[in-house]
Amino acid sequence: MSPGRTVLITGVSRRIGAHLAAHYLARGDRVIGTYRQETAELANLREQGLHAVKIDLTDTNALSGLIDGIAAYTNRLDAIIHNASIWPSDADCARQPELITQLYQLHVTTPVQLTLALQHRLPAPTHDERATRTVVFLTDAKVSAGSDGHMHYLASKAAAESTMRSLAIRLAPHTRVNAIAPGLILFHEQDSTEKRANRLTKNLLPFEPGAGVIANSLDYLLDCPALTGSTLTVDCGLHLLNPSARD
């Protein structure tokens, strides 16, 4: 994707979303980023030119306001990155069953509604028979292997992968739709040294990759005009070494 375009990224307040927003702002793109919480990363991104929109993406009534705001801000939209996510354990879901609904809302229903409503409001044309918009879902490398601790989370990410393929069919030829399926990208601050070391033994490439590898992967998906309906697995070889690796 050449610089100077407009990119929508959900969930830019921290970690991977914040890194992606900074990456595209540094390239000279206009970035619209959604957030819920004010963070130091968000303040930095605003200084770099982020157009920040506060929204809870599980609130379906709020979506029309987001779409109106985007249409008022730009008349072109080159990329939509569905990054926002929650990662509740099955124990969390047992205690708070509403989390299961929120998983599907955040990972499937809202991305579909947003993608289709934006196509209606800001239609992506084709140019020289090529797509001019790219949509990317952040899913998870473990959707095929399953998990004994995050069944509901993974099921919602599997649904997102299927949705990605259906949207690729529906929106061709003007829009390409793909997914990145990350394995371990970033540890959480609270992860112990022992947990980190144990987790790394499950990868063929035993290091913490960091959010930069998601930016690398996204650049490729945005730049390659022949890719649609594809999933790029970015998991340091987890799927080869240990297909049923546990969390």
Ligand X SMILES: NC(=O)c1ccc[n+]([C@@H]2O[C@H](COP(=O)([O-])OP(=O)(O)OC[C@H]3O[C@@H](n4cnc5c(N)ncnc54)[C@H](OP(=O)(O)O)[C@@H]3O)[C@@H](O)[C@H]2O)c1
Classified as helix, coil or strand, 179 is strand
Instruction: Name the closest residue to ligand X (Cβ).
Output: 11
Question: How far apart (Å, rounded) are the C-alpha atoms in residues 71 and 117?
Answer: 11
Does position 227 bind ligand X by CB under 6 A? no
Choose between 63 and 227: whose C-beta lies nearer to ligand X.
63
State yes or no: residue 106 binds ligand X (CB under 6 A): yes
Q: Quick check: helix, strand or coil at residue 31?
A: strand
Piece of the chain touching ligand X by CB under 6 A; list 1-9, 120-128, 183-191, 222-230 = 183-191
* DSSP H or E stretch at residue 185: none
Q: Specify whether 24 is catalytic.
A: no
Q: Which two tokens stand for residue 172?
A: 């061709």
Q: How far is the CB of 49 from ligand X (least distance, A)?
A: 18
Site for ligand X contains 138 (CB under 6 A): yes
The answer to whether residue 111 forms part of the interface with ligand X (CB under 6 A) is no
Region 6-65 residues binding ligand X, contact defined as CB under 6 A = 11, 13-17, 34-37, 56-58
User: Which segment (79-87, 113-121, 143-151, 190-198) binds ligand X by CB under 6 A?
Assistant: 79-87
| 123: DSSP letter | P
Please tell me whether residue 186 binds ligand X under the rule CB under 6 A. yes
Q: Which of 35, 73, 153, 220 does the annotation list as catalytic?
A: 153
Q: How far is the CB of 83 from ligand X (least distance, A)?
A: 5
Q: Taking the alpha carbons of 79, 65, 100, 198 in that order, is the dihedral positive or negative?
A: positive
Sheet holding 231-234: strands in order across? Answer: 51-54, 30-35, 6-9, 79-82, 133-138, 175-182, 231-234
User: Under rule CB under 6 A, how many of the chain's residues touch ligand X?
Assistant: 25
Contact between 36 and 60 under an 8 Å Cβ cutoff? The reply is no
**Of 77, 131, 185, 221, the one binding ligand X by CB under 6 A:** 185
User: Of 84, 118, 131, 171, which one interacts with ligand X (CB under 6 A)?
Assistant: 84
The minimum distance between CB 53 and ligand X, in angstroms, equals 10
Which window, 68-76, 164-172, 178-186, 220-228, contacts ligand X (CB under 6 A)? 178-186
> Which range in 23-31, 70-78, 125-133, 184-192 contacts ligand X by CB under 6 A?
184-192
User: What count of other Cβ atoms lies within 10 Å of the Cβ of residue 241?
Assistant: 15
Cβ–Cβ < 8 Å for 132, 78: yes
CB 5 within 8 A of CB 78: yes
Segment (H or E) for 61? none
> H/E element holding 220?
helix 212-223
Give catalytic residues, as residue numbers. Answer: 153
- Name the residues that contact ligand X, by CB under 6 A: 11, 13-17, 34-37, 56-58, 83-87, 106, 138, 140, 182, 184-186
